[in-house]
Amino acid sequence: MLARTEKMADDELVIERVFDAPVALVWRIWSDPEHLKRWFGPADFTCPVFELDFREGGTYRAMIHADKYGDSWFGGTFAQIRPNEKIVMSFAWEEGSGETHDTTITVTFAEKDGRTVQRFRQAPFPDVESRDSHYDGWSECLDKGLAYGERLAGEA
């Protein structure tokens, strides 16, 4: 289990995780709504709803929940899907979240020495403060995904 963050521009965030799991398994936890519901969201959040039409031009809509914050809805459209390699999708919080800008998320997957390198990039952000607030949430979310993926790999 390895977590790494690289230097970022002011309007983007980039987070990398390395899984002790094959790329096909890591891909599956990103492309199957039943898997996404089990790990998606920051540390104190659950993800009771994840609707997914996983194809180019397809959409997704999900809700994360924390007792302290309530429900937060978000969604977007898949612009590019290359199985076991890359997902490109738009991302926007729904009304009432306090966030008013759309971003693009790109997640890449590469197998290296029996492990999977997952690189997450989101941009553009309107300012560093918005980027940094998303960084904290995404880091926790991706840590949960890493733990979930490695647990599944251990059960295989």
The full DSSP string for 17-50 is: EEESS-HHHHHHHHH-HHHHHHH-SSTT-EEEEE
Residue 108's CB is within 10 A of a number of other CB atoms, namely 15
CA distances from 67 to 26, 28, 64, 74, 75 (A): 29, 28, 10, 18, 21
CATH architecture of 2-155: 2-Layer Sandwich (3.30)
Categorize the per-residue pLDDT at 70 as very low, low, confident or very high, splitting at 50, 70 and 90. Answer: very high
Q: What is the DSSP letter of 94?
A: P
The full DSSP string for 119-138 is: EEEEE--SSHHHHHHHHHHH
Q: What is the DSSP letter of 20?
A: S
Percentage of the chain beyond pLDDT 70 is: 92
Walk across the sheet containing 70-82 and list its strands: 2-4, 13-19, 115-123, 103-112, 86-93, 70-82, 59-66, 46-52
77-128 tens-digit pLDDT: 999 999 999 999 999 999 765 566 899 999 999 999 989 999 999 999 999 9
Give the burial class of 106: count Cβ atoms within 10 A of its Cβ; 0-12 exposed, 13-18 middle, 19 or more buried. Answer: middle
Q: What is the pTM of this model?
A: 0.91
Q: What is the DSSP letter of 44?
A: T
More confident residue, 131 or 8: 131
Query: What is the reported pLDDT for 1?
Result: 47
Q: Could you tell me the residue ranges of all domains in the chain? A: 2-155
Chain CA centroid to CA 44, Å: 16
Give the tokens for residue 38: 């089990």
Instruction: Using the predicted structure, report yes or no on whether residue 4 has a pLDDT greater than 90.
Output: no
